[in-house]
Amino acid sequence: MSQAFELESFVAECRSALPDRAPQRNVHESVARAISDPASLLREIGEPARGGIYELHRAEDLTVIHVVWAPRMTLMPHDHRMWAVIGVYGGREDNIFWRRIEDGPTEQIEAAGARSLGAGESTPLGSEIIHSVTNPTSQLTGAIHVYGGDFFDTTRSEWDPITLREMPYDIAKNLRLFEEANATLPASPS
């Protein structure tokens, strides 16, 4: 039987991996264990009721967030510029991976692969990965994301979903996308 999820212990386990030559591999194992028992995880971090990015731990060298995707929500292509591990504990998260291409004097991106993650699945993402994310379901999708840096205070890029041209990442705009997606959720009974 697995041990109950405790956020403080999980963060300590992730932090203890940072000095390793390959911290992402050990963090990936920790995330896989955490999402293998969604009931225990949710007792600690709370049952999601709406989409959002919920900070669980933030430091210069490690960020842990609880990401909840609203139904049918899509986030445009973006990069992290740090390694990451994504673990889905409920629902589905479809990732399209992109690669940079030269288009005359400017850089664009083109689709280079995809990976769909369902409940209980996790994947590492390298620091150079560009991806877009969609929740293809009619329910909330919940995931734990761990980043090898400060997710909220790192200069990053996003790409226009129509022109695929690079621009500075706008975290405020992306947080608004979660709120706009939440507007589509059915009203909870009072």
Q: Using one digit for the tens of pLDDT, what is the confidence trace for 148-189?
A: 999 999 999 999 989 998 999 998 999 999 999 998 887 765
Q: Is residue 14 part of a domain?
A: yes
Residue 86: pLDDT over 80: yes
Q: Is residue 115 part of a domain?
A: yes
Q: Is residue 190 part of a domain?
A: no
Q: What is the CATH number of the domain that holds 77?
A: 2.60.120.10
Percent of the chain with pLDDT over 90: 84
Q: Is residue 188 part of a domain?
A: no
Domain count within the chain: 1
Q: Is residue 168 part of a domain?
A: yes
Q: What is the pTM of this model?
A: 0.92
Residue 34: pLDDT over 70: yes
For 190, other C-beta atoms within 10 Å of its C-beta total 3
Domain extent, residue 149, equals: 7-182
Longest dimension (CA), the chain: 57
90 pLDDT band, cuts 50/70/90, is: very high
Q: Is residue 1 part of a domain?
A: no
Predicted confidence (pLDDT) per residue in 45-61, tens digit = 999 999 999 999 999 99
Q: Answer with the residue of higher pLDDT: 130 or 104.
A: 130
Q: Is residue 189 part of a domain?
A: no
Residue with tokens 């409920």: 90
Q: Is residue 2 part of a domain?
A: no
